[in-house]
A = this chain, B = another copy of it.
Amino acid sequence: MFNDRIYNFSAGPSMLPLPVLEQAAAELTNYRGSGMSVMEMSHRSKIYLSIFEETKADLKRILNVPETHEVLFMQGGAWLQFAAVPMNLMGAAGKADYAVTGNFSKLAMKEAQKYGQVTIAASSEDRNHTYIPPQEALSVSPDASYFYYCANNTIYGTEWQYVPETNGVPLVCDMSSNIMSKPIDISKYGLIFAGVQKNMAPAGMAVVIIDKKLAGKEFPFTPTMLSYQKMIDTDSMHNTPPCYTIYMLGLVLKWIDSQGGLTAMEKLKKERAGILYSFLDESKLFKSCADKDARSDMNVTFRTGDDALDDKFAKEAAKAGFENLKGHRAVGGMRASIYNAMPVEGVIKLVEFMKKFEMENK
């Protein structure tokens, strides 16, 4: 499969399935006989709308989005959603709960403080975000506008293994780094958002899935483009959407279908992560960073305990064709991001390389 391509363990933007890239390349100057690139199509033309509608329908079907919810395509990445969420939802009660289990939930929490009273409902900061607080440790305010958490902590390599029970308080979740990796029960969520650049498409968009009854309560100073109600009313086309990114998402969704849907994605992610964690648990040199019961299947963090050796590893790995294994600058060590598009073979070869490195450096 790989030929001249490398194994790219980047946390995002990250690998896309090769057949998707090949199809995009083949259609780039002339989309299926239209005489145009998708990049050149008017977003209101019939031909583009058919791409848009099919992509949205595929997304709804694959994620099993119920009728109560709407799918939105918005710009600005997950970061702009850190503001959009409180600008739309905070007004209901003026306060919200945030579970802080990593860098991005902390940043989202700080952004929300601009718009209302924010309570830290749980935090894993005491042990450098190496674990996920259990349900009984969550302090859920029954009168909050919403309860917010980040399902997978890309930087720290932890992942929530359960869906928080909030007893009716709308649940808001940043799924940027694990959406599309397994089936989820959308009906449990008031709002899900995800930057697309990990498991869905090239960077430049966020997918928002919102329970329609939560929309329409934005602050008067909320920009029109950030109003969920306006986006629902205009089917994400209040202005020109990021058309090509949506097309790429469509190709990725077709690829997910071809692989067997989210059930297959879940099986594959368990296989990939299992290979890597099994090795880490046996290794005398490499140690997994996250608590066993909180480990992420998407981002595997590990270290040798020696910064210079970590550095040497990342550099030698890159030379051998395993790119972007250096950990995030906030935590150091190493991180292997193994999203949907990473073939199992890539993880097997990485482990082979790690074994070799361990032999040479003991």
Contact = CB atoms under 8 A, between A and B. Distances in A.
B29 A13 contact: no
Contact of A114 (B77, B220, B244): B220
Contacts of A321: 35
A4 B345 CA distance: 40
Given A75-B75, A84-B223, A241-B203, A37 B21 contact: yes
A303 B70 CA distance: 40
A223 B226 contact: yes
Identical chains bound together, number: 2
A288 interface: no
Contacts of A77: 75, 225, 239-240
A73 to B, nearest CB: 10
Given A21-B37, A114-B221, A225-B79, A202 B42 contact: no
Nearest to A19: B29
Contact of A15 (B24, B34, B40, B82): B40
B243 A45 contact: no
Interface in A323-346: 323-324
A221 B35 contact: no
Interface residues of A, number: 69
Given A39-B21, A45-B10, A248-B39, A79 B239 contact: yes
B223 A87 contact: yes
Interface string A24-59: 111011100111110111110100000000000000
28 contacts: A5-B36, A6-B35, A8-B36, A8-B40, A10-B45, A12-B42, A13-B43, A13-B240, A14-B40, A21-B39, A22-B29, A25-B25, A36-B323, A39-B248, A43-B203, A76-B76, A76-B239, A77-B225, A79-B238, A80-B239, A83-B223, A83-B224, A83-B225, A111-B223, A114-B221, A195-B240, A203-B243, A221-B221
Closest 7 CB pairs of A and B: A204-B242, A83-B223, A6-B35, A25-B28, A79-B239, A39-B202, A75-B75
Given A79-B239, A114-B220, A242-B242, 4 more contacts: A25-B29, A77-B225, A79-B225, A80-B225
